[in-house]
Amino acid sequence: MKRNDDFQRFEKEISRNEELDMNKKFKILEALYQEAVDLGVFPLRDSLEGLEVDIHIAKVINSVSKDT
């Protein structure tokens, strides 16, 4: 657990000190998208796949009393 806390502090420190311009942000976004494509995550075969499950879970969560 300590390593995770140290890593999170490290990430926050990097984020605070690193200034990214829009071009760098877009390059990061494009690289992440390309990685998702390479891994077969994008493009989605069926964008509605699993929607029924998500709706069911949302209904269950929303029907639970907030007092419990």
pLDDT in tens, the chain (68 residues): 567 888 888 888 887 877 878 888 899 999 999 999 999 887 777 878 888 999 999 999 988 866 65
pLDDT of residue 6: 85
| Cα radius of gyration rounded to whole Å, the chain | 19
Q: Which residues contact 42 (CB under 8 A, 6 or more apart)?
A: 33, 36
Q: Which residues contact 43 (CB under 8 A, 6 or more apart)?
A: 37
Q: Where are the domains of the chain?
A: 2-63
Model pTM above 0.75: no
